[in-house]
Structures are given as C-alpha cells and as structure tokens.
C-alpha cells in the first residue's frame, strides 16, 4: 500500500488494514511522518513532532498486534494530541511562552487510555494559547493556517488538531472544547468532531482553562472515527470526580440508523440575524437532507441564546483567572531571572510569559469576581446557567436532536479580527451555550460557501445521548459526500 493511499485512509479503515495485515503500524506511522514533513512548513499544525519515538512505539505496538495482545479497532493507528493534554516525557506547552519548555511528569487519562489501546503518538498539536482564542493565532509557536486556503485561519482553539486531520497530517486527533474549540475548527476545516457530555471524558491531565466547561473530545475524518475514539477515552476516572461511567457508542447501530421519524428542532435564534447568508443557505440545505430522508423538522424559540456570549465569557474568564494563578514562575513554567523580590517575580514572569489574549481574560475574570462586581456579573451568570439547562431540557422533551450552524461565518482571514476581540467572542454564540449546559454536540461537514470554504452543521443532543449524535451524523455522511472532499479539489 503506497504512502498516499495510507494517509488518506480513515482511522477505522487503517485499523482494519493493520489488523488484516494489509499494512503495519510501522508503515502507517512512517507514511504519516513523511506527510507531516512535506506539509508542516505550509500549515504549522504541530508544536512538536516525535519522529524517532513514534517509530519505536509503532514497532512495539505492531509486535503486540502480531502477538494478539492488541485487538481494538484503532490499534496501531497514529494520533496527534492537542498541546494542552499532558503526555509524560513529552513537551506540553499550551501554546504559551509560559510553558514552552514544560515536560509533564505524568500523562492525561485520555493518553493513558489511547496508549493502552495501541495508539502511536506522532506529535503535539498547535493551539491558541491556553485554549483562549478562536483562530489559533495567539499561539507562541506561530499561526496555524487553514489547509483549504492558507490566507485563512483554521479556527480555534483546537486549530492544529482540526487542520492536521484536514491536511492528512493526522488520521485522528484529540482536541479540547470549552465554548466551541473542537466544533468551530472542525467547521472551518471540513472535518468531524464531537464535544462530549460534560464528565463523559476525564479532564485529568488537561491543563485547565475553565474547569466547569472544559471537555476533551475527538476529531476525525468522519463520525464513526470520532465515535471509535470516544469509546476508548471515555469512562469513569477516580482522579476526576466530575467524570462518570457512560455507555459505549454502538457503531453498528450508527451504520444502520434510519432517519425516518427523527424529531429535529431548529432554534429560530440560530438562523436569524448575524448569520452569514451563505452559511444559512448551506445549513438549511443540510436540514432539508434530513427532512427528505423522513425526519420531522420544526422551528422553535430559544430566547436564552441572546445571553450566550456574555454568560459564557463571564464564567470562562472567572474560572480562567483562578486556574491560571498557579503559573507564578516558581514551581514550573517561565521564570523571570532578573526579578529581585517575590512580587517582582510574579509580575515579570506573568507579564513576559502570558500573551495578550490570556492577560485580557485573566483581567476580565478578576473583574467579575472582584468585590462589588461579583453579584452583578458572576452570580448572575450562574443564575443564567441554570436557566440555560432548563431551556434545553424543555427542548429535548420534544426533540431527539437540535440542529443549527456551528459559527456565524466560515473561516476568517488571518489577522482579520485580532484587533477586535469582541467580534471574535461573538463567534461563540451558537456553541458556548452547549458547554454551559454540559450537553454533547458535534460538527460535521455540510457544504461550502461562495468562496469554497467549508461550513459545519452542529448536532446537539440531550445529556449522554452521544449515540443519537453519531447515528444522525453518520446517516448524514452516508447520504452526502461533503466530508470526503479535500483541500484543492474543484467542486
């Protein structure tokens, strides 16, 4: 099997090819590393590529596969991991100068699970600094570019994770999603991704941004790949008390799923003012695909959307200001060597170690938690959170699934909104509510705008209903071929 054929395969296809001895983990890893070497200067998806160690790991994994010790569907398949997920012995930087040389002494739960399943780690993926951003332009390690057009951003904060899959520099990846950081780059890069129910995947070893919102999830070339990865990484972890035991996603059920009779709700607020006309048209076409297959589609009111952005950013920034207080230049991270006193060390280490966007969110967080403003902002945001949860619970008493756009626009041009953070924040209007409610959601490719840039369809389900998302997403991908399109193809 030649290199090009290998790197274009889906993760499950490659896993089956390795299992049936059509290829080996060693060949697949070598092919992927060659592809990364060829494309990385153009796209900058990776912060670090573990070439030598990946090849050694592939040899070890292949030996276990040959001996019958590893039999899972993704055994031997290489993976790239977002650089805010700890990997023992390998740099974990969070895209920041503050952690640019940090090597964690332990691994995240998700990497432990993947390693046990026979995954081969090829590298750590670029991201917005501390997962704070929507473009992957705030990384200390440079900008990641969108494989569909390198003048455009790949989205963020998991931009490197989505762009790598899109460019065939990864078979699948892990990202993290605090307010849309898996779904939005998937939409921009024409790949599939799942943000799981809060607690389905352990956050142990994920460098925290906003602990009540963060969730690790998979990004792949289609929904079945994402489901297979999610089955490996999900489950109860005693080191994360918010994690829960959960059902395995049945891939055979997803493959055989019939859309007929599926009740789908469309929030009117998702399809109204602020949504780009090309995106709106593409989303309605996708909805019609479901309708034509027998789904029952109905619009409904979800007025709480109006408060999505302020509620999300108040909660996220408040938690970020607390979580990032640990980076003080003493125990780990960047150390300002010319500091003379302890306050001076804090000031200089954080001033020099953190980027502008991180500082902005820390300051916003400190403000909403400060005396005199706590009740006016943070307490109210928590009250709105309970209203959001109730609003979605009511919606899911009527509908099996909620559909809508992932983002108001397709990918932005590089540098387009960096000087106007509010515009970037408004891009989370359709995704942030899902994290506030702790719901599962996915982004799947559903078409292209007039410039040929990808559009993603967001699928939202009730708590722990990932099976429904995978069923409906996989059915859509059987009826369409948007997810098979690659950058550079002419439509």
Distance CA 159, CA 174 (A): 11
Structure tokens at 33: 């590393």
Q: Which two tokens stand for residue 332?
A: 């780990």
Q: How many CB atoms neighbour CB 400 within 10 A?
A: 18
What 3 state SS string does 26-93 have? HHHHHHHHHHHHHHHHHHCCEEEECHHHHHHHHHHHHHHHHCCCCCCCCCCCEEEEECCECECCECCC
Q: What angle do CA 436, 175, 178 make, to 5 degrees?
A: 20
Angle at 276 between CA 270 and CA 277, to 5 degrees: 100
How far is residue 227 CA from its own chain's centroid?
A: 14
Q: What CA–CA distance (Å, rounded) separates 139 from 440?
A: 27
User: Pick the catalytic residue: 82, 124, 195, 200?
Assistant: 82
Residue 314, CB-side half-sphere exposure with 13 Å CA sphere: 22
The catalytic position among 25, 96, 107, 157 is 157
Say whether 82 is catalytic: yes
Sheet arrangement for strand 46-49: 46-49, 120-125, 78-82, 172-177, 215-220, 192-195, 441-448, 454-460, 401-405, 263-267, 296-300
Strand partners, 381: none
142: Cβ contacts below 8 Å, ≥ 6 apart: 44, 126
Both tokens of residue 352? 């020099």
Question: Which residue of the set 96, 176, 181, 349 is catalytic?
Answer: 181
443 belongs to the catalytic site? no
349 is catalytic: no
Please tell me the distance from the alpha carbon of residue 164 to that of residue 57, in angstroms, as a whole number. 20
Catalytic residues: 82, 157, 181
């Amino acid at each position: 099997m030649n290199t090009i054929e290998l790197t274009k395969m889906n993760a499950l296809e490659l896993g089956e090819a390795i299992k049936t001895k059509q290829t080996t983990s060693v060949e697949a890893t070598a092919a992927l590393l060659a592809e990364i070497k060829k494309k990385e200067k153009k796209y900058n998806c990776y912060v670090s590529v573990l070439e030598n160690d990946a090849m050694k790991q592939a040899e070890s994994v292949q030996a276990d596969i040959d001996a019958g010790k590893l039999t899972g569907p993704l055994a031997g398949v290489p993976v790239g991991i977002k650089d805010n997920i700890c990997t023992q012995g390998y740099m974990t930087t969070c895209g920041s100068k503050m952690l640019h040389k940090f090597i964690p002494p332990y691994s995240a739960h998700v990497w432990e699970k993947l390693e046990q399943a026979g995954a081969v780690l090829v590298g750590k993926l670029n991201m917005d600094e501390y997962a704070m951003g929507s473009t992957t332009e705030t990384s200390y390690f440079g900008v990641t570019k969108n494989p569909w057009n390198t003048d455009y951003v790949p989205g963020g904060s998991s931009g490197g994770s989505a762009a790598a899959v899109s460019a065939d520099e990864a078979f699948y990846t892990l990202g993290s999603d605090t307010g849309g950081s898996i779904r939005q780059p998937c939409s921009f890069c024409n790949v599939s991704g799942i943000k799981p129910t809060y607690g389905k995947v352990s956050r142990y070893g994920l460098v925290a941004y906003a602990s009540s919102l963060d969730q690790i999830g998979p990004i792949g070339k289609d929904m079945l790949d994402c489901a297979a990865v999610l089955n490996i990484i999900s489950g109860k972890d005693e080191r994360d008390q918010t994690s829960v035991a959960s059902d395995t996603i049945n891939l055979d059920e997803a493959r055989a799923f019939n859309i007929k009779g599926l009740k789908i709700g469309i929030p009117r607020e998702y399809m109204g003012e602020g949504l780009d006309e090309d995106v709106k048209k593409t989303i309605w076409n996708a909805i019609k695909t479901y309708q034509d297959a027998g789904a029952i589609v109905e619009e409904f009111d979800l007025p709480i959307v109006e408060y999505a952005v302020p509620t999300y950013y108040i909660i996220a920034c408040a938690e970020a200001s607390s979580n990032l207080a640990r980076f003080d230049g003493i125990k780990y991270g960047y150390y300002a060597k010319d500091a003379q006193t302890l306050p001076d060390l804090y000031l200089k280490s954080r001033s020099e170690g953190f980027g502008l966007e991180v500082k902005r969110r820390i300051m916003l967080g400190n403000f909403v938690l400060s005396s005199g403003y706590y009740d006016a902002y943070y307490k109210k945001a928590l009250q709105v959170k309970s209203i959001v949860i109730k609003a979605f619970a009511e919606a899911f008493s009527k509908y099996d699934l909620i559909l809508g756009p992932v983002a108001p626009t397709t990918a932005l041009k590089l540098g387009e909104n960096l000087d106007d953070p509010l515009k970037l924040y408004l891009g989370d209007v359709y995704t942030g509510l899902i994290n506030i409610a702790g719901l599962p959601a996915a982004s799947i490719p559903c078409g292209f705008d007039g410039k040929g840039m990808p559009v993603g369809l967001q699928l939202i389900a009730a708590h722990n209903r990932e099976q429904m998302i995978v069923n409906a997403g996989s059915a859509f991908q059987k009826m369409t071929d948007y997810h098979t399109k690659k950058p550079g193809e002419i439509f």
